[in-house]
A and B are shown apart, each in its own frame.
Chain A
Amino acid sequence: MSVGESLAARVSNRTKGARQFLFDRHRAVSILCTLVSIVAGLAAWQLASLRVPPLFLPSPLDTWQGFLELLDDGTLGTSILASSARILVGWGLGVAVGVPLGIFMGYFRWVRRLFDPYIEFFRFIPPIAFVTLAVIWLGPGEASKVALIFYTTVFIVTLNTIAGTVSVPELRLRAAASLGAGPLTTLRTVIVPSTVPYMVTGARLAMGNSFLTIVSAEIVAAQEGLGALIWNARNYSRTEWVFVGIITLGLLGFVFDRILRIAARTLLKRYGVAI
């Protein structure tokens, strides 16, 4: 290695080190901000709970004890598993149906005409409006809950996929056509891969909606699940269990979204998924 080269390498190492240092500091600051925010929230909660009876607002400590209680007797674990299973099955089915439906609706005008009236009508009706019907038609078992999650997922995934299909660059379609791709080959090799980022966005939004829906579904008819846990706490006047249920929902949703994001970012990176 010549002198010039080694000098260049050393300088570049040093700038790399400096950049790394700045990056670490930036990261440390942002983690600190998050911690401060959480601690401040807990403190505000604690202060507020001092002035009212625990039935109205249990303190963080009461809630923590309630959490341990529910953890020990296994209620929390079963609830998390029950709700997660329903969400994953209903959401998975919704994505599995919504993606192809959106692709076909976006690409074939007649398919769009066929389904459009229903999509445009039902997307304004929230799943909670169907809770009673779901129980009457599908019974109080798993099917009614899964169906409601499916319902809340399928529209949003379909609509996002349609939007993606429609926004594939016209020039890209022309290029494919002049390279010899017919309509079905174009659909498979250009439209579907170009639309992946929109599918992911739809699936992510649907995951959030699934959490909104699961609680209403489980409140009406379920023995177990986080919604049932929150609702049953009322019967025992245990407001801290309500809090445990709510916080668990929030954390579970966060974890699910994180997993989805990381999975999409690593597995679908080459399709331009950047979330």
Chain B
Amino acid sequence: MTVGVSVELEGTSVTLQGHAIVSDVNLAIAPGEFVCLLGPSGCGKSTLLNAIAGFVPASGRVLVGGRPITGPGIDRGVVFQSAEVLFPWLTVKQNVEYGPSIRGVGRREREELALGFLRLVGLAHAADKYPPELSGGMRQRVQIARVLANEPSVILMDEPFGALDAQTREVLQREVARIWRATGATIVFVTHDIGEAIILGNRIVTMTAGPAARIKTIASVDLPYPRDLTDPAAVRLQRRLRDDIGAEVTRTLIAQGMTTEQVA
């Protein structure tokens, strides 16, 4: 099916309205790799994702499959945290058919395509419902199916489960891991949840607190899937990541005017 391609960031910086959000990021993501961008809110990880998606201009180089990106494109599918990106006036199936219909795929073929991807995310039974009739978790699955229907080489996920309850989140994390294996796409996954990053990523990239956020650490996760957070190696990694991010959060709070004692 899909084959993932590489994503390379070389000296990538993003400046929006005169503010440096992300500064000098260097990161090479291999084809088919699952990379999690982890960091506290407002650290610029979503901005970095938006730069790869082509939503915001970036300086330095952003290469996808070796080619510099100039704007949004169907080679990079984006799953957002908010379900308002679904079209509420279209049925679930029509939402999933949206990309293929723009590509000019015929009616019969794209219907089959949509049903196939809805089956993959376990939503074939809801094909004729409208998004407002679905639960939060189901809507995120529709988003994933809609992105997959374009068979992107890179899937960019911006805290896709951030607004869901813990149980639903766990189920969807397992599904994303399964879909990743099934499609072979490269995935860049933004999250502020350390556990989520450990369950999903081949590598976990932490970022410094903004402004002008940079990459702080890159951790490889050498644990077999499906992963167990109570595994001693996972626990050790969790502690290390928590310390890394904790230091950044402390720095932010002090920058915001809190005293060292208050933070400690």
- Interfacial residues, chain A to chain B (CB-CB below 8 A): 169, 171-172, 174-181, 185, 189-190, 193, 196, 270-272
Contact = CB atoms under 8 A, between A and B. Distances in A.
B85 A169 contact: yes
B89 A178 contact: no
A171 B82 contact: yes
Contact of B85 (A171, A185, A189): A171
B53 A180 contact: no
Contacts, number: 61
Contacts of A196: 89
A180 B89 contact: no
Given A174-B55, A174-B72, A270-B130, A179 B102 contact: yes
Given A171-B84, A272-B89, A177 B102 contact: no
A270 B85 CA distance: 15
A190 B87 contact: yes
Contact of A272 (B85, B88, B146): B88
A123 B102 CA distance: 39
A266 to B, nearest CB: 14
Given A185-B102, A193-B89, A272-B89, A177 B84 contact: no
Interface stretch (B58-66, B73-81, B190-198): B73-81
Given A174-B55, A193-B89, A179 B99 contact: yes
30 contacts: A169-B84, A169-B85, A171-B82, A171-B85, A174-B78, A174-B80, A174-B85, A177-B55, A178-B53, A178-B72, A178-B73, A178-B76, A179-B77, A179-B98, A179-B146, A179-B147, A179-B150, A180-B74, A180-B99, A180-B102, A180-B103, A180-B150, A185-B102, A189-B87, A189-B98, A193-B87, A193-B89, A270-B130, A271-B88, A272-B89
Interface of B: 53-55, 71-74, 76-78, 80, 82, 84-85, 87-89, 98-99, 102-103, 130, 146-147, 150
> Which of A175, A178, A196, A270 has the most chain B CB within a 10 Å cutoff?
A178
A193 B103 CA distance: 20
A185 B101 CA distance: 11
Q: Is the interface of A mostly helix, strand, loop or mixed?
A: helix
B84 A172 contact: yes
B77 A178 contact: yes
B118 to A, nearest CB: 16
Given A169-B82, A174-B78, A179-B150, 12 more contacts: A171-B82, A176-B98, A178-B72, A178-B73, A178-B76, A178-B77, A179-B98, A180-B99, A180-B102, A185-B102, A271-B88, A272-B88
Contacts of B53: 174, 178
Contacts of A169: 82, 84-85
A178 B73 CA distance: 5
A270 B77 contact: no
Contacts of A189: 87, 98
Given A181-B102, A185-B102, A189-B98, A172 B85 contact: yes
Contacts of B78: 174-175, 178
Given A180-B150, A181-B102, A175 B85 contact: yes
Contacts of A172: 84-85, 87
A271 B88 CA distance: 7
A174 B56 CA distance: 10
Contacts of A185: 102
A179 B150 CA distance: 7
